[in-house]
Amino acid sequence: MEQKTVIDGRYVLLEPVGGGGMARVYRARDEVLGREVALKVLREQYAGETEVVERFRREAQVAAGLSHANIVSVYDRGVSAEGDYYAVMEYVPGGTLEDRLEKSGALRPQTAAAVAVQISGALEASHERGVLHRDLKPGNVLVTEYGDVKVADFGSGGSAETSRAGFSRTELSPGTVTYMSPEQARGGEVGPASDLYSLGVVLYEMLTGEPPFSGESEISLALMHVSEPPRPPSELAPGVPEGMEALVLKLLSKSPGDRYTDASELTGDLKRVRDGKPPAHAAAARPETSGTTGRAHRRLLLPAALAVLVLLGLVGWGLFGAPDVRETPVADLAAGVESVQVPGGGGETAGNADPDESVFVHRAAPENISGNSTYLDDPLADGNPEAVVSVTQNWNPDGGTGTYNDRPVGVWYDAEAGQWAIFNQDRAAMPEGAAFNVVVSESSGRTG
């Protein structure tokens, strides 16, 4: 791809401007219409992967259906004669909000409110069309030459009707943990309120120069989103007005129902704060306390940690290098189990007494393997498509003599069989003897 200068005989590549694990983004020139565009090109190694190609096409199609002044426009998509899958987007020359914050630090409260109004307007438009963003962060907020902002990468989201992060892993963007909502970190239902939480994190960072939570690992960050109250922004930036602080803390509520009803309601309050007026819907907002204890607290934290690992598995080990995971098996530490015995066949509980949750190690065996999948056998999961199923690799199967499945995995529910299954996302055959740490909760709606 680096040697090519023209795509499809029309788009001349000028320079790379970004990219991720799945695609590269270039500044390019459309020779037919005589304008600069951003060209997103699928990486060569995925061109033969049917599921990845279909996801790339679907993302472009979804994004192309959105039209708003604060959303990056998608003009076209296609595949060149050379087999390059691409999407053509509006080119926004001013860099990202992330660049701006790294260079100049926190924004004035009025400026932060004005930027948030534009982002909220973009979310309002996308949610009205039934599209979630699910990965809102400063790096996805582009700055125009006039100082306005446009939100990019809407196509990586999904239906705004609420979707289960634990139901179809292949349909999800992993999200960036720093900006991820508690329900997304837990592997629960994700809806419009989840995007509003992420905007709350972005707004907090615009006001203070740093996000509300920071940790040594993605797991610690996920647990903070689930259980820790954020510091009031005024403690870090004394100039933050009381009304703005109330608005931000409402956005960062742990429960989606405690946030704004929708983006339209939020936009109205942001405009009031921008104009020096108190918010109409956040006057009573206060920092939350972490009052969840005992069994219910553990039920929240353990699925959260494991769910983040599975989400990040969509792009391989990501920032969780395999050696780190092997040194600190998450399921063992979070469940308080000193050593987990691998079961001889299906699964074996790991000492938890919670009737609404199963914590066990599942072993892939001939009787439960089908192609790239291994089927779970658990009373909470069987026949329950609403179960929350979180999985990580077990790094020490059979005391180190078993098979280590060093591949990104996901989970899916086989409605015909009435069972959940773990699958290799690269479609490689599931090896016999592979073991996985599994947590099953009855449903994401249970509060314990």
Decide: helix, strand or coil at residue 187.
Answer: coil
Residue 266 confidence (pLDDT): 98
74: β partners: 89
Our answer to whether residue 324 is catalytic in this structure is no
Residue 172 confidence (pLDDT): 35
Distance in angstroms (rounded) separating the CA atoms of residues 310 and 313 = 5
Residue 312 confidence (pLDDT): 41
Residue 355 confidence (pLDDT): 64
Neighbours of 14 (CB within 10 A): 15
Residue 293 confidence (pLDDT): 37
Distance in angstroms (rounded) separating the CA atoms of residues 19 and 424 = 25
83: left (phi over 0), alpha (psi -120 to 50) or beta: left
Q: Which of 8, 30, 135, 148 is catalytic?
A: 135
Residue 44 confidence (pLDDT): 87
Which helix (H) or strand (E) segment holds residue 311: the answer is helix 294-312
pLDDT tens for the 448 residues of the chain, in order: 445 588 989 999 999 988 777 889 999 999 999 999 999 999 988 888 888 898 888 888 888 999 999 999 999 999 998 888 999 999 999 889 999 999 999 999 999 999 999 999 999 999 999 999 989 999 999 999 888 999 998 866 544 444 433 322 333 334 589 999 999 888 888 999 999 999 999 999 999 999 999 887 788 888 899 989 999 999 999 999 999 999 999 999 999 999 999 999 999 999 999 999 999 999 644 444 334 333 344 344 444 444 444 444 433 322 222 222 222 222 222 222 222 233 333 344 444 445 678 888 899 999 999 988 999 999 889 999 888 888 877 654 444 455 777 777 888 888 888 899 998 877 888 988 888 888 888 764 433 3
Handedness of CA 212, 214, 217, 220 (dihedral sign): negative
Helix, strand, coil % (nearest 5) of the chain?
Answer: 35, 20, 45
pTM over 0.75: no
CA distances from 52 to 274, 297, 427 (A): 42, 37, 12
Distance in angstroms (rounded) separating the CA atoms of residues 105 and 69 = 26
3-state secondary structure 98-161: HHHHHHHCCCCHHHHHHHHHHHHHHHHHHHHCCECCCCCCHHHEEECCCCCEEECCHHHCCECC
Distance in angstroms (rounded) separating the CA atoms of residues 227 and 181 = 11
CB of 178 closer than 8 Å to CB of 224? no
Q: Tell me the domains of the chain and their CATH numbers.
A: 6-90 (3.30.200.20), 97-274 (1.10.510.10), 294-441 (no CATH)
Residue 162 confidence (pLDDT): 42
